[in-house]
Copies of this chain bind each other. A is one copy, B any other.
Amino acid sequence: MNQEDCFLDNCPPFEDRSVDRIKLSEGSGGQEMHRLIHWIQKMLPPSTNWNNTQDDAATIPFPSTHNESENNHLVFTTDSYVVTPLFFPGGNIGTLAFCGTINDLVVMGAEPLGISLGMILEEGLPRTHLESVIQTIGALSQKYHVPIVTGDTKVMERKSIDKMVLNTSGVGHAARVLNTPLRVGDDIIVSGSIGEHGAALLAKRFDIDSSLETDSQPLLDEMRAVRQNIKQARDITRGGLVGVLHELARKNNIGMQLSEEQIPIRREVQHLTELLGIDPLSLACEGRMVCACSPDNTPAVVSALKKFNDSANVIGRVTQKEGLFLQTSFGNKIIPEPSGVLTPRIC
């Protein structure tokens, strides 16, 4: 993989004794996770002619017997899902597994061709649980015309795994990969209100009365509507909006100036996160994305996105100055990358 220009290149590789065991925070979408991934990538040989291997999906010009210069890219992604509880308001682990992998494909500009379904089940899992999850995936597959084309099933002994883990990988086809470098002045746009997935999970886990439901949904139609007018997109998952914006900033070597009042957050999410002392900007979604475009295209992009979700909005712009800054009613503050274990296993 491309190891150049990585902000972590000078990190000491876990030399002190306190890091000799894997920590929960290394799976949480923040600094620790990026450090772990970077350490892993440094042990693997470079991936030759594949691109975007630092993104959520890798791309390769598809081998063609005709014309090597043809714009014809294969897009490939993978994700595992370890959510607890398996069933939550508005969906289940199957909803996440389908939406998460579709979204990783579409934010690269791809049309999904098919996804795989790997299931790791605990011996003794009620068959009705599996049935509900499969039916959910089947209904989404039918609705969005993305077939489940290959799969794998493993069963582990009781207590060797907590109920059920899913892995979905996906392949897609992109005529144009969304990878245009961001420039100072580009607008940053969010496709809808953030944090509902994470908040709904937390409400359920802490048994808090709430009408919140997961925001999980495939962003297929949204991306089809805007992809010709945007430079890059990223779906908001672990690490939340802030995590994803840090990834975009790092990849493009740019900074961002954001405006708190422009970031759409539903009142219930705001209340719940205040109650729990959690930053809603770090809360996972599974049906929202951020994208960046040149200001000329902003009106078209926002109006296209608003047809799907009224709260789509411009939340900031690309700046020369590195770092993420948030204009609040108390002034302009820097937003560090999330770290630690904020919310284990919500996606």
Partner-B contacts on A (CB < 8 A): 1, 14, 19-28, 33, 36-37, 40, 43-48, 50, 53, 56-58, 60, 62-67, 70, 72, 74, 76-82, 113-114, 116-128, 130-131, 134-135, 137-138, 141-142, 145, 147-157, 159-162, 165, 167, 169, 171, 173, 344-345
Main secondary structure of the interface of A (DSSP, over half): mixed
The listed residue (B123, B127, B141, B153) touching A19 by CB distance below 8 A is B127
Query: What is the oligomeric copy number?
Result: 2
Complex CA gap A323/B314 in Å reads: 65
Task: Report the minimum CB–CB distance from A181 to chain B (whole Å).
Answer: 21
**Please, which residues of chain B bring their CB within 8 A of the CB of A62?**
62, 74, 173
Task: Report the minimum CB–CB distance from A233 to chain B (whole Å).
Answer: 17
- Residue ID in chain B nearest A135 by CB atoms: B43
Complex CA gap A138/B40 in Å reads: 10
Contact A151 B114 (CB under 8 A): no
Complex CA gap A152/B37 in Å reads: 8
Contact B114 A157 (CB under 8 A): no
A–B Cβ pairs within 8 angstroms, 22 of them = A14-B127, A24-B155, A27-B153, A43-B135, A44-B137, A44-B138, A44-B141, A46-B147, A47-B114, A47-B147, A53-B150, A56-B150, A62-B173, A66-B67, A66-B70, A74-B74, A76-B150, A78-B116, A79-B152, A82-B156, A120-B165, A159-B159
A44-B148, A151-B40 as given contacts; A22 in contact with B120, CB under 8 Å: no
The listed residue (B126, B131, B162) touching A43 by CB distance below 8 A is B131
Complex CA gap A145/B48 in Å reads: 9
The listed residue (B23, B58, B119) touching A114 by CB distance below 8 A is B58
Contact A77 B116 (CB under 8 A): yes
